[in-house]
Amino acid sequence: MKANAEPAKLTVAKTAGFCFGVSRAIAMTREHAAGAYAIGQVIHNAAVIAELEALGMRTVSSADEIPDGATAIIRAHGECRSVYDALAAKGVRVVDTTCPCVRKIHEIVAKEDAAGRAVIIIGQPGHPEAVAISDRAKDVVILSSPAEAAAYVQNPGFDPEKPRSVVAQTTADKEIWKICLEELKKECTNLQIFDTICSATALRQNEAAELAGSVDLMLVIGDRKSANTARLRDICAKRCAHVFLLTGAEDLAEIADELIALTPRTIGLTAGASTPEVKIEEVINMSEEKQIIQAEEVEMNPEVEESFAEMVDRSIKTLHTGQRVTGIVTAITPSDIHVDLGTKHAGFIPVSELSDDPSAKPEDIVKIGDEIEVFVTKVNDAEGIVTLSKKRIDAARGWESIDAARADKALLEGTVVEINKGGIVVAVNGVRVFVPASHTGMPKEADLNEMLKKHVTLRITEVNRAKRRIIGSVRYATEDMRKAAAEKIWETIEVGNVYEGVVKSLTSFGAFIDIGGADGMAHITELGWGRIKHPSEAVAVGDKVTARVIALDTEKRKISLTLKSESDNPWVKFTTTYQVGDVADVKVVKLMQFGAFAEIVPGVDGLIHISQLADHRIARPADVVAEGDVVKAKILEINNENEKVSLSVRAALEEGYAAYGEEAEAEETDAE
């Protein structure tokens, strides 16, 4: 070290080393290594390949080199379909270590190809993974950079309207992917985008970039043939002036003096997805021996301290159907959620097994990086896949909460997920609750299918663990809520209060209105200012209305309401328009023995006494007028207290006003 220079502080990236797919591939290969043949390198790390070959595995370049009936190992990068066909023709037993994320891309590309869409792969041409992916489509191109993407869309023969789908190699650079997409979206009018960069790769790249930007010197460990290791180096080089790519401790020994000469105070370390933990430990130990770093200053993920052998032993632990396990969410797709269980198996939760709520979105339930407990529903050792369920775990937990709710008569929220002959099934806290048709709150003749996927509130009425049966009632819950709402209303209700209500039922004498938990009665005379013969002329069941309290009986819990508004009061309109002495055209609406009632304005009638119907004596009102006749009448009296009006046709006649017919004839005569 230079004079006064002190060993640097070393920080190791949390995601340095094996990813889930690589760990799984190595574990599966170790299990079948003896006498097996691997087509190409299982992973891009010479040290790991040497260890596997020491266990009896042989590396060949093609399927032709594998004897009939032998065991073949498909590498983590995947293989072309022709390789599988050749192995099948030879009767070769296949151990497929293809990364589940890569296999998912194969499925996407095959599906898009079958739909007649061209496929664009953002990746490294010639890389085994990109080659295997491209084999799943007929019309395919691999683009490695934004420049290639720009040249692709600017080609003279390029058809912008051609249906295309774009995927990424799992280890693609996130920034390169984004820029390539921008170039493609400028010209492609029918582009489907599938972001298939492995979440573990993206996380590793982000952590490496962040770490590189905070240290004086960066060490990247990995095989020089590894694409993801080379990409880590390039990402770090954009943010740190001194970046060194090492295959292991032997490379560090060669450049130790150069590193010391740079006198870094802080050093960062990351490693490619194919780099075993032992390689990381060797580099750290060598750095301590050469006094490049201080042993006590190493900051690292505790998982790095686990030996390679221990990690492999952990990764090959057996899973069984019915087992409850904990894992980390690594990716979320429209069809399933990927979960790292720390084993050789790739864990998948089908979207249908995530929640009982059919309207729930996966991204609203789980996030990448979440630790979740799941239930193993199926184990496929041949493909290295395990199917999981989160909703079954939720259901087990839900039983306890539901039983407690039954005891407390608490109300629960749920979603209707099924309709059957006897009623409906509601998903509550991951548990199926049966609600009989008579307790759904729907009328007998109603179609229960209208409730499907609707959110409802219910009360648990029975829990039978032995029969795995839970029964609930929406009707009881509604009644409970109405009682609670009614109590709240009666605590504050006063004459004059105004409520928004709903017409609940009609009778011949009025309408019952629900004002939010309590029912009130609006008499037929309070449904409007005009005269009506039946409440149905003013309102209908289900109408939303504004009701005002006009009377209360707290002992009998009765509420009298009115729908009348003072702003529409016809008496106010009348008194602001007419006064005593005015002559108005009025319409006869009813004949009585003692006279006739006539409408002055809608809602206000006046009485014309029999003695005031003509300028001569008459025996009965019908002798001079009929219902519906419009006559001129003088206002004799206005009684504001009782809202009564006295009218006189005779007084109008005496002042020279004539009946309409006579007046019209006079006008015609004058005109002639």
The residues that are catalytic are 129
* Angstrom distance (rounded) from CA 549 to CA 515: 10
Query: Helix/strand/coil (H, E, C) string of 367-395?
Result: CCCCEEEEEEEEEECCCCEEEEECHHHHH
Query: Helix/strand/coil (H, E, C) string of 659-672?
Result: CHHHHHHHHHHHHC
Residue type, 261: A
* Under 8 Å between Cβ of 221 and 279: yes
Give the up-direction half-sphere exposure of residue 601: CA atoms within 13 A in the CB hemisphere.
16
* Under 8 Å between Cβ of 301 and 266: no
Residue type, 314: R
The beta strand positions in 421-576, using DSSP E, are 423-428, 431-436, 455-464, 469-473, 498-507, 510-514, 519-523, 544-553, 558-562
The tokens for 306 are: 């686990």
Q: How many other CB atoms are found less than 10 A from the CB of residue 234?
A: 15
* Under 8 Å between Cβ of 598 and 608: yes
The tokens for 31 are: 């299990």
Mention every residue, 6+ apart, whose C-beta is less than 8 A from residue 399: 431, 463, 465
* Under 8 Å between Cβ of 256 and 290: yes
| Burial class of residue 254 (count of CB atoms within 10 Å of its CB; 0-12, 13-18, 19+) | exposed
Q: How many other CB atoms are found less than 10 A from the CB of residue 584?
A: 19
Residue type, 554: T
In the 8-state DSSP scheme, what is residue 7? P
* Angstrom distance (rounded) from CA 170 to CA 247: 22
Give the distance, in angstroms, between the CA of residue 164 and the centroid of all CA atoms in the same chain. 28
Give the up-direction half-sphere exposure of residue 148: CA atoms within 13 A in the CB hemisphere.
13
